[in-house]
């Protein structure tokens, strides 16, 4: 009987026990994996029925084998996972925690290595696997350094080798070795692939499509809880560092060191839209192209299959008007015609080439062509004017002789792709030259000359700065209220949808407040519409000084406005709204008349749609008006 009683007590746990999964890290415990520790310790995983075992890396572990053998259900890898995907491995990338890789080359300041070119004939300590060091190898290659120009040393992962001079440059992480050198008061320089245009992802959370197909909800829950953990970790750095220091500190790092790690990694983590984990299709294609240039692969892969279907990646579409599209089409046609003319004349004799110069010098667009070693073969007068050099000073030179390093690196990266892919590409790049910032649209194509025995790059570049500014202004106008210069109703519709999506995925609470100017019709009728407009502009300007930079103010009607408070609860939003209401009533916008507002405030609910939350806050605002005006009502 006693045995039966004990069995009955523990029977529910047999049915409701959390699903156990293993997360395999790709290095030792440190802030680099903070989001996963937080998700485990704060109960984000257990809240969705998952019990996660987080395993440190050791040299005997092969991440892909762990996933394929189901010893681990999830793992953390690098951008080299793309190569494994190309090679037929069953991989799905759930999220890229770091949008910019912390991997770089670290050098001592007293080594006098200040530029990538200074590494010629130097010792470089990197992992011998080209896939793992691809961004560094691409950086070296783009600066004209081939493998025989430097000595690769097997990585010892011992910082003393750099300090003592055993090596000249060491593959390191921004969040680790530089902090250790600072602790020792040793000055250093960083050579980062991103500065040369090679922007890789890092710490890609991945699994297999086989596992996802069998466990779709488990995968989505793990993904969602992990992202929630990362957001919490970066929003609560001190708490997170303290947790790692006390519970996950197998490397015996100091609390200060862990905090510094977190500060560095936070700068690398967030996508431009403020999200964590985003995987962008175009960026992944660029990474594959780098692998191609390095000869690691010559094959493409289906990027869409590589990215987890629920990942928060977005494809941005730049909207232009019908009139602008016609302008761009005309420009494109004109550019293509010029390129065809140039190719025709390049294949002809000397007399034809002289005629070519006459043709290309008649255009304001810059025309130039290079050989396969990136040396200039020719250019038109517009290009000469831009670089402020005669043609004789340009022929035989490369971009590093004509431009500053950052511009030259960008051009070199593009040219490498053209020669590798042998197809035309269009680039839009901001270039700062002689203190002027100019946006160029450049079409580059691969071409052969001297009866196809030699290859090169032909390009035509046009200044589209004015067009860009027109497009930018039109885009801003489509989201900005013309009178008050706050966001308009169209912008509100977009933001509220994003906020609801974030709430449903990450439980990120938010509030909205709607307010209306009391008796505004009377103000317009008594004082005229000019005074009414003055009230609107002065009031919105004042309100913007009372809300956070992360809050949004929208004009959704004539005298109706909405404030969106991200990451806020009802009490917090109500306090701010009360301050705004009182401040508006104190403003002297009209002589001998007090202007007041009535406010409704609400917090997002689990079942809310954009229509639900708008109708609810609208009713709350009208309750404030009905009950006497100049007050706020909350729910």
Each residue's pLDDT tens digit, 356-382:
566 677 778 899 999 999 999 988 888
Residue positions counted in the chain: 635
Q: How far is C-alpha 594 from the geometric centre of its chain's CA atoms?
A: 47
The domain boundary, picked from 306, 330, 350, lies at 306
Contacts of 334 (CB under 8 A, 6+ apart): none
Q: Write out 134-152 in H/E/C secondary structure.
A: HHHHHHHHHCCCCHHHCEE
Residue 349 φ/ψ, nearest 5 degrees: -80, -175
Q: Is there a domain that residue 10 lies in? A: no
What pLDDT sits at residue 207? 97
Q: Is residue 473 part of a domain?
A: no
Query: Domain check: are 242 and 263 in the same one?
Result: yes
Question: 10 Å Cβ neighbour count for 212?
Answer: 19
- Asked whether residue 118 is assigned to any structural domain, the reply reads yes
Find the DSSP H helices in 361-488.
381-387, 391-394, 399-402, 405-421, 465-479
Are residues 455 and 531 both part of a single domain? no
Same structural domain for residues 169 and 124? yes
Q: Same structural domain for residues 269 and 362?
A: no
Place of tokens 């919105």: 540
Is the alpha carbon torsion for 588, 589, 593, 597 positive or negative? negative
pLDDT of residue 426: 87
- Which CATH number do you get for residue 606? 3.30.70.270
Q: What are phi and psi of 202, to 5 degrees?
A: -145, 155
Confidence (pLDDT) at 281: 85
Identify the pLDDT of residue 481. 83
| Structure confidence by residue, pLDDT tens digits, 293-350 | 788 888 888 888 899 988 866 333 334 444 555 555 555 555 666 665 665 555 554 4
Tokens of residue 348, six digits:
């002809």
Helical pair 255-269 and 216-235, crossing angle rounded to 10 deg: 120
Q: Do the domain assignments include residue 523? A: yes
Mode of pairing for the β-strands spanning 188-191 and 103-108:
antiparallel
Q: Tell whether 609 and 621 lie within a shared domain.
A: yes
- Output the pLDDT for position 352: 52
Q: With a cut of 50, which residues of the chain have pLDDT below it?
A: 1-16, 314-322, 349-350
Are residue 409 and residue 526 in the same domain, yes or no?
A: no
Nearest 5°: CA angle at 293, between 289 and 298?
A: 70
Do 189 and 213 belong together in one domain?
Answer: no
The two tokens of residue 612 are 């639900």
- In sign, the C-alpha dihedral spanning 410, 414, 415, 420 is positive
Q: At 335, which helix (H) or strand (E)?
A: helix 322-346
Q: How many whole angstroms from its chain centre is CA 579?
A: 36
Closest alpha carbon to 17 in 46, 53, 44: 46
Residue 145 lies in a domain: yes
pLDDT value, residue 395: 93
Q: Say how many domains are in the chain.
A: 4
| E runs forming strands in 423-466 | 425-433, 436-449, 454-463
Residue 423 domain boundaries: 322-467
The predicted pLDDT at position 13 comes to 43
In angstroms, what is the C-alpha Rg of the chain?
Answer: 30
Contacts of 292 (CB under 8 A, 6+ apart): 298, 420, 421
Tell whether the torsion through CA atoms of 136, 137, 138 and 144 is positive or negative. positive
**CA dist list (Å): 460 to 445, 450, 569:** 9, 21, 54
Give residue 316's pLDDT: 33
Locate tokens 């189901």: which residue?
70
- 128 backbone dihedrals φ, ψ, rounded to 5°: -75, -15
The per-residue pLDDT for 312 is 67
Judge whether 437 counts as a catalytic residue.
no
Instruction: For residues 477 and 475, give the distance between their C-alpha atoms in angstroms, rounded to a whole number.
Output: 5
Show the tokens assigned to 578.
Answer: 């009360």
Cα–Cα–Cα angle for 358, 359, 363, rounded to 5 degrees: 110
Q: Are residues 329 and 461 in the same domain?
A: yes
Where residue 453 sits, what CATH number does that domain have? 3.30.450.20
In a domain, 9, yes or no: no
Q: 509 with 604: CB under 8 angstroms?
A: yes
Q: Look at residue 527 in the predicted model and tell me its pLDDT.
A: 87
In this structure, the answer to whether residues 89 and 207 fall within a common structural domain is: yes
Residue owning tokens 């100019």: 438
The side-by-side arrangement of strands in the sheet containing 188-191 is: 151-154, 123-126, 169-173, 103-108, 188-191
Distance (Å, whole) CA 107 – CA 109? 6
What span, in angstroms and rounded, lies between the C-alpha atoms of 211 and 620? 47
Residue 540 structure tokens: 């919105």
Residue 1 lies in a domain: no
3-state class (DSSP) for residue 397? coil
* Contact criterion met (CB below 8 Å) for 588 and 621: no
**In terms of domains, do 414 and 266 share one?**
no
How far is 282 from 352, CA to CA, in rounded Å?
Answer: 41
In a domain, 300, yes or no: yes
For residues 206 and 182, state if they share a domain: no
Domain final residue pick, 467, 502, 535: 467
579-633: per-residue pLDDT in tens? 999 999 998 888 888 999 999 999 999 899 989 999 999 999 999 988 999 999 9
* Region class of 374: left (phi > 0), else alpha (psi between -120 and 50), else beta: left
Give the integer Cα–Cα distance in Å for 319 and 322.
10
- List the CATH number of the domain containing 69: 3.40.190.10
Domain end among 196, 216, 246: 196
Mean pLDDT, the chain, whole residue set: 85
CA distances from 23 to 34, 36, 223, 325, 410 (A): 13, 9, 12, 49, 38
CA–CA gap between residue 600 and residue 577 (Å, rounded): 9
Catalytically annotated residue among 182, 275, 559, 560: 559
Verify that 34 and 115 share a domain, yes or no: no
């Amino acid at each position: 009987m006693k045995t039966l009683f004990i069995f009955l007590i523990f029977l529910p746990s047999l049915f409701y026990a959390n699903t156990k999964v293993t997360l395999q890290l790709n290095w030792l415990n440190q802030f680099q994996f903070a989001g996963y520790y937080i998700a485990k310790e704060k109960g984000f995983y257990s809240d969705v029925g998952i019990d996660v075992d987080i395993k440190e890396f050791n040299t005997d572990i092969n991440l892909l084998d762990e996933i394929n053998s189901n010893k681990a259900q999830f793992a953390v890898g690098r951008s080299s996972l793309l190569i494994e995907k190309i090679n037929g491995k069953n991989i799905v990338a759930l999220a890229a925690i770091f949008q910019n890789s912390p991997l770089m080359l670290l050098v001592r300041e007293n080594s006098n290595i200040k530029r990538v070119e200074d590494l010629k004939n130097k010792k470089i300590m990197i992992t011998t696997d080209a896939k793992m060091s691809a961004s560094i190898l691409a950086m070296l290659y783009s600066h004209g350094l081939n493998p025989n120009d430097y000595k690769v040393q097997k990585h010892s992962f011992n910082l003393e080798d750099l300090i003592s001079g055993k090596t000249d440059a060491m593959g390191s992480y921004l969040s680790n070795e530089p902090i250790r050198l600072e602790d020792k008061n040793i000055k250093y320089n960083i050579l980062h692939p991103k500065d040369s245009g090679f922007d890789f992802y890092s710490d890609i959370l991945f699994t297999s499509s086989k596992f996802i197909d069998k466990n779709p909800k488990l995968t989505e829950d793990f993904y969602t809880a992990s992202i929630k953990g990362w957001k919490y970790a970066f929003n609560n750095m001190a708490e997170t560092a303290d947790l790692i220091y006390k519970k996950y500190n197998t490397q015996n790092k100091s609390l200060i060191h862990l905090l510094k790690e977190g500060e560095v990694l936070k700068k690398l983590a967030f996508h431009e839209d403020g999200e964590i984990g985003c995987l962008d299709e175009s960026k992944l294609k660029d990474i594959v192209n780098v692998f191609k240039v390095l000869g690691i692969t010559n094959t493409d892969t289906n990027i869409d299959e590589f990215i987890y279907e629920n990942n928060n990646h977005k494809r941005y579409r730049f909207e232009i008007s019908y009139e602008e599209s016609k302008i761009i089409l005309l420009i494109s046609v004109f550019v293509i015609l010029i390129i065809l003319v140039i190719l025709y004349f390049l294949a002809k004799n000397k007399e034809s080439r002289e005629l070519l110069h006459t043709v290309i010098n008649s255009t304001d667009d810059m025309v130039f062509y290079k050989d396969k070693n990136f040396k200039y073969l020719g250019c038109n007068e517009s290009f000469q004017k831009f670089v402020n050099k005669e043609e004789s000073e340009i022929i035989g030179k490369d971009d590093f002789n004509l431009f500053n390093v950052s511009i030259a690196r960008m051009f070199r990266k593009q040219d490498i792709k053209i020669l590798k892919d042998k197809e035309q590409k269009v680039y839009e790049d901001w270039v700062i030259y002689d203190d002027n910032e100019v946006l160029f649209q450049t079409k580059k194509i691969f071409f052969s000359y001297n009866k196809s025995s030699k290859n090169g790059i032909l390009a035509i570049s046009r200044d589209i700065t004015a067009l860009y500014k027109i497009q930018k202004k039109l885009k801003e106008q489509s989201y900005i209220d013309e009178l008050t210069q706050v966001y308009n109703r169209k912008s509100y519709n977009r933001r509220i949808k994003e906020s609801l999506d974030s709430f449903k995925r990450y439980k990120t609470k938010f509030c909205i407040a709607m307010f209306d100017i009391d008796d505004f019709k009377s103000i317009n009728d008594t004082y005229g519409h000019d005074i009414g407009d003055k009230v609107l502009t002065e009031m919105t300007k004042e309100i913007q000084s009372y809300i956070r930079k992360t809050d949004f103010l929208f004009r959704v009607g004539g005298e109706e406005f909405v404030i969106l408070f991200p990451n806020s609860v009802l009490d917090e939003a109500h306090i701010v709204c009360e301050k705004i209401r009182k401040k508006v009533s104190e403003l002297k916008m009209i002589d001998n008349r007090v202007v007041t507002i009535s406010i409704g405030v609400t917090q997002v609910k689990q079942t809310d749609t954009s229509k639900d939350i708008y109708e609810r806050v609208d009713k709350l605002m009208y309750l404030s008006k009905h009950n006497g005006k100049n007050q706020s009502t909350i729910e």
